[in-house]
Amino acid sequence: MSEIRYSLEKYKGRSTRYHCPGCHQRTFTRYIDNRTRKYLSDNTGRCNRVEKCGYHFTPKMYFEKNGYEPDDYYTLTPKSKTIVKPPSCINPKLMLASLANYHQNNFAIGLSKYFPERMVWEVLQRYYVGTAKGNKTIFWQVNRLGQIRTGKVMQYDVHTLKRNGYINWVHHITNQKYFNLKQVFFGAHLLTNKTTPVAIAEGEKNAIFGALYYPQYNWIAVGSIEMLNVQKLNALSGYQVTLFPDKGKAFEKWSKIAESTCFNIHVNSVLENTDINEGDDIADLVISIKKDQYKTSPEAVIDRFKKRNKYLNLLIEKFDLIMSF
């Protein structure tokens, strides 16, 4: 039985991500020798910022440049019985305790600038989005049986709703040893009714924006452009599935994947037909629409008057005035 000699190092926390030789961000995954457990070289690996950077220096490129050694790619190992270890799960109490304090959650606060607060909180709870220390957000991954596989922890800028810093995971934060991570779609717990069409976005943020702006779908997220594959899509056979990739490379890549599935999958091209930037996503589109709507709204008129007269806001609050248009 032959095994791949070199593969990308599995994510085990921030220490397994390095500064990319291309964009210099700490988003670089290095290739590791599966026989010696050593890295091939400092610049042999792939940047996880596929759209923004795209750096990828493979072992083949490395050996073409530096020369080959015997058995560089494959190593023969004796056949053995494969022991399948069941996926690990998180205690439900941990997740349920996090589904609150949205007024201390930067992501929830930022969303409330574009949608009514009550609607935001309802969607966050329905999708099992929690609050972590430091105003961070937890996107819990729960399967259709209600098993909690893990939680993806991220920090957002409350004004731009762009991600700040690094991604972390609940099973790392809670120091769970020998944790066997088997991820599922974010929002997978909602896939109990095949009559509701399913929309698949790249990131969890996009799934939430989609659920708020296009509620006719059950929105789920795969995590990144690279994590979607034919096997995952074929598991959704029987559902009406639409892919919502980011604009540009992701649209081309996901369209090819959709063509190879065992059932018909639609790839939405709304983003491709807009003038938003390459790599922008559903969240960027919805924010752009919301901002344009605000410019012609009564609220915008009032806000402009408030900027001209600092006493206007005090007057409105004191006499509980209501603007009529």
Are 114 and 34 found together in one domain? Answer: no
Please give the DSSP secondary-structure letter assigned to residue 239: B
Instruction: Please tell me which of 4-8, 67-71, 292-296, 314-318 the model is most confident about, judged by mean pLDDT.
Output: 4-8
Residue 92's φ and ψ, nearest 5 degrees, are: -55, -30
Are 116 and 36 found together in one domain? Answer: no
Q: What is the mean pLDDT of residues 257-283?
A: 93
Per-residue pLDDT at 76: 47
Does residue 214 form part of some domain?
A: no
| Averaged pLDDT of the chain | 87
Q: What is the mean pLDDT of residues 29-53?
A: 87
In terms of residue numbers, what domain contains 67?
A: 2-76
Q: How confident is the model at residue 292 (pLDDT cuts 50, 70, 90)?
A: confident
CB atoms within 10 A of CB 282: 27
Are 148 and 67 found together in one domain? Answer: no
More confident of the two residues 189 and 62 = 189
Total domains present in the chain: 2
pLDDT at 147 over 90: yes
78-110: per-residue pLDDT in tens? 555 667 789 999 999 999 999 999 999 999 999
What is the distance between the alpha carbons of residues 111 and 116, in angstroms, rounded to a whole number? 8
Per-residue pLDDT at 159: 94
Are 112 and 180 found together in one domain? Answer: yes
Are 97 and 150 found together in one domain? Answer: yes
Q: Do 187 and 206 touch, CB atoms closer than 8 A?
A: no
Q: Do 296 and 289 touch, CB atoms closer than 8 A?
A: no
Lowest mean per-residue pLDDT among 2-16, 53-67, 148-162, 308-322: 308-322
pLDDT at 209 over 60: yes
- In this prediction the pTM is 0.74
Are 125 and 177 found together in one domain? Answer: yes
